[in-house]
Amino acid sequence: MIRKLHPATIIILSFLDCISMGTALLTLPVSNTNGYISFMDALFTVTSAVCVTGLAILDTGTHFTLFGQVIILLLIQIGGLGLMTISVVLFKFLGMSVSFQQRRVMQETFSHTPRKDIYDLLKSIFVFSGLTELIGAVLLAIYWSREFPISQAAYLGIFHSVSAFCNAGFSLFAANLIDYKGSITVNLTICSLIILGGVGFPVIFDIYGYLSKRRLKRVKISLQTKIVVTTTSILIFAGMALYLILEQNNSLKGLNPVERILAAFFQSVTARTAGFNTLDLTTLSDAGAFLLMILMFIGASPGSCAGGVKTTTITVLVVSAIAKLKGIFYPNIFKKRISDTNIMKSLTIVGISVFFITLIFFLMLVTQSTTPFPGAVAPDRFRIYLFEVLSAFGTVGLSMGATTIINDWGKFLLVIMMLIGRVGVLSFFYFIAGDEKHAGFEYSEESMMLG
């Protein structure tokens, strides 16, 4: 039966299995400091961890016991690397055979073209992930050892390093990382982990191969790597500059110059996938909130721990649109032609993404119309819920305060949105609609007005 399933379906089923097992573990009394958590809160928390989102209904550091926190951390790691990836590597380590279907799933997850060295890629992913998380944990532990006992500092370092590299955004601090907005060590370490986890494992593998083999033979950097590195850099620094301009009298107000630069850089990096925050996002201006929404919608890169429509998708559409405006028939980038297949796939991804976001957002407005917000001032529900939905879609985890007060219907809708964002809109579409291809009927063409 499993041999007939589309790889995308297998990936989704593996995530659903993780979510089911994680929910069962998190509902155990030993996982919670007060011995109880509702099923919906457990489902939401586990989905947020497995889908490496970071949206949190309950304070991770105080509501969950050490056992519960470790469960969440393991789910983040499994969600970041993928259950199928971990199982394939484990099978190879134990000398067990890996099925053809498992190989197909790995190709679907981590490679844009078929490759013979898929096992080398998987091994590199594990080694790179482990080393990167270890270095990040050591740097953070050293910093926090000045504030906490060494054992607690080490645990904080490990938890936040794994959470950052897997782009999860879960924090053991009640105020997330707001208290460390002026720390160069915390900001740069967390941001570096987020970026390395968000550019995509194929890009890391490609860059490593180039650096290690360029002296022995001529090695080419793939088009995907060039696009990912270029687009990621543009988004980070353009987002940082715009945030500095738009938020100087709002969320950045009262900060010294160093804190402003660090905070703008941090928010620009984290908004595309990670979910950590060093500022109170309820103070965002409308323009600043919209900027973060755009970054969350784009997300990080294919083959990574992140969600969103991905950097390559946006780049393909932008380059194609510019080519059309210039009257160029074939869109090119880095002296390579973008295929019609990639253009159509990018349009499909954005179109389906907008459809799901619109649907979930509309249902959120309907189901949360009577949800009371704390405080006397009536909130801008439209902006707050749209921000929340886009945060779930991009598996970002940033919130303007709605996550902790929404009802069970709202939590369930965000659970669906997080799953869609993590597995990808095309995979989710294959899962619910099937992947059977039909030739259909071919009729004569007729032109019509567009735009």
Select the highest-mean-pLDDT range: 70-74, 110-114, 330-334.
70-74
For 230-252, the pLDDT digits (tens) are: 999 999 999 999 999 999 999 99
Task: Find the mean pLDDT for residues 214-242.
Answer: 86
**Least trusted range by pLDDT, from 76-80, 94-98, 442-446:** 94-98
For 334-399, list the strands marked E by DSSP.
Answer: 336-337
For 396-426, the pLDDT digits (tens) are: 989 888 888 889 999 999 999 999 988 887 7
Angstrom CA distances, 348 to 108, 301, 308, 344, 426, stand at 17, 17, 14, 6, 8
Contact 115, 107 (CB under 8 A): yes
Contact 44, 414 (CB under 8 A): yes
Provide the pLDDT for residue 376. 46
Task: Find the mean pLDDT for residues 343-353.
Answer: 90
Provide the pLDDT for residue 371. 75
Query: What H or E segment, with its residue span, contains residue 159?
Result: helix 150-165
Task: Find the mean pLDDT for residues 32-47.
Answer: 93
Provide the pLDDT for residue 363. 95
Task: Find the mean pLDDT for residues 371-396.
Answer: 81
Q: How far apart are CA 140 and CA 154, in angstroms?
A: 8
Q: Which of 415 and 380 is assigned the larger pLDDT?
A: 415
pLDDT-derived band at 86 (thresholds 50, 70, 90) equals low
Residues 6+ apart with CB under 8 A from 64: 26, 31, 32, 33, 58, 72
